[in-house]
Amino acid sequence: MLQAERSRISSDGIQMTKNRNLFYLFVIVVIFVTRVLFDVINQIEVHFDEAQYWVWSQNLSLSYLSKGPLVPSLIAISNKLFGQTYLGLKFFSYVAYLGTVITLSLAAFKLTNRKESFYIALLLSILSPAIFILGGIASTDIFLFFFWSLTILCYVCFIQERDEKWFYFIGITTGLGILAKLTMVLLPLSILLYFLATDFRKYFFNIHIYLSALITVLISSPILIWNAQNNWLTLSHEIDHLVSNAPTFNPEILLFTLILTVPSVLFLFNSEVRKKVFKLKFNYLIYPTFLMIVFFVVKSFTGKIQLNWSIPIFLGLIPILANVISGINFRAIVLSCLFLGPIFLLSNNGISSLIMSYDPLHPTRGWHNTYKNLFQEEDYDYLASEDYTLLSTAAYYQGDAEKLFLIRSSDRRLTHYDLWKIDLTLTDKILFVAYSEKEMPSDKVNCTEIRKVKNFPRKYLTLYNCTLK
């Protein structure tokens, strides 16, 4: 009898585990499908950054002037798997989005071992506009978010367990994150500063932390090798970002970025939430975030802060706020979010058009037909432009990533296109794409206008037949 009861309990436990695993799988599938459906329903096409990384993926290198090799390499792989299709371009960005959401939720759970925290963090991550929107763009940002979130999870695991093995995982995730975007170095540096200011400084005498740093260097070494071969151009590029000739003081962008990334901070208007915040025991996550905020505030004195640059520094707040909110009766609000979220996300500009006259997603729509109409069957030896975004997008839709020529103006920063060695001759036919409001590079080429194609808000794209002077 006792044996039968034990068997029944064991069987029930196994069944509960299976049901729970199926539920988790269902949640993961729903998140992934929702993200893809948003792009399909809203007719999202290719962002110019994605087009640029696709061009790079067809010309693989150890690194590139402004970015590491991770994103172009992943696009090259997905192109092999799915061809030059929508999914062939964006597949790994969707995976990184899903990974970011799940990882932040696991970090929230690891903080207190409360299942409710996991689900709230899952919800907060899904409904984060910054994570959601960038999760559908095959650019460096979503991959940075993913490896940043993984590093946060490994860091939390180390604090909870005090096991040095997590240093090595941090070394791996940091190295991979650097291959996506150099901003990744800010997180481990902030953690080390926190260690230095607290009792954790004893770990500076631990060999494991230095071996993990070595792993980071080894993983990110393609960037170092490429720069050693190219006069450290990436370093110069990053210095240009840090120090501008015309600095614009804009620390207010940090608040806007915070709300876009972690809209759950608005819960702090609730007095009960604020009381719980003051009782927090998660200083090891809060202080590194604070240090990075200080960095960007200082950076705002020397140059403009772009909206996407500071998003990662706020990701660590999602696990914290998930734990603060859990246990407080916000179920009605959560349910509202669950119902309103999909409606908004899949609105196809239905809701946004009620609020604003301009569709913010327009720049990602209509390019396919525009370029079909623009090029038709033009014959050319090289595709050229003064604008790298135009050149990249045109190259993507033409399926031509080889014969590209960027005509550089004196006031434009160096791009990776400028490093390509191209020997044009006087007989080469150049197909030049321009925004109509820009002046033609008359000092370098002779051009004849072919046609204009309207494309709001750029108004017109203009096509020229050109030859070298």
pLDDT in tens, 135-186: 989 999 999 999 999 999 999 999 999 999 999 999 999 999 999 999 999 9
Please say if the pLDDT value at position 90 is more than 60: yes
Per domain, the residue ranges of the chain are 23-355, 366-468
- Which whole number is the average pLDDT over 221-250? 81
For the segment 306-338, what is each residue's pLDDT rounded down to a tens digit?
888 889 999 999 999 888 887 665 554 555 455
Longest dimension (CA), the chain: 97
333/7 Cα distance (integer angstroms): 42
Residue of 298 and 187 predicted with greater confidence = 187
Distance CA 173, CA 446 (A): 50
Using only C-alpha atoms, the chain has a radius of gyration, in whole angstroms, of 25
Q: Which among 246, 257, 268, 240 is positioned nearest to 296, based on CA atoms?
A: 257
Q: Which one is predicted more confidently, 219 or 255?
A: 219
The lowest-confidence range among 14-18, 32-36, 64-68, 355-359 is 355-359
Grade residue 299 by pLDDT with cuts at 50, 70 and 90.
confident
Average pLDDT score over the chain: 82
Q: Which residue has the tokens 């998003």?
A: 311
| The pLDDT of residue 93 | 95
- Residue 439 has a pLDDT of 62
Distance, in Å, from the CA atom of 254 to the CA atom of 263, rounded to the nearest integer, reads 13
Per-residue pLDDT band for 268 (boundaries 50, 70, 90) equals: confident
Residue 291: per-residue pLDDT: 87
Read off the pLDDT of residues 335-376 as tens digits, 9 standing for 90 and up.
Answer: 545 554 554 454 444 444 444 444 556 666 667 777 777 777
Which DSSP category does 424 fall into? -
Tell me the pairing of strands 459-468 and 430-435: antiparallel
For 332-371, letters b (16+ CB in 10 Å) and e give: eebeebeeeeeeebeeebeeeeeeeeeeebebbeebeebb
Q: What is the model's pTM?
A: 0.88
Task: Place 89 in a pLDDT band, splitting at 50, 70 and 90.
Answer: very high
d(CA 267, CA 251): 23
For the cut 70, the answer to whether the pLDDT of residue 40 exceeds it is yes
Tokens of residue 225, six digits:
């090798």
Instruction: Name the more confident of 205 and 254.
Output: 205
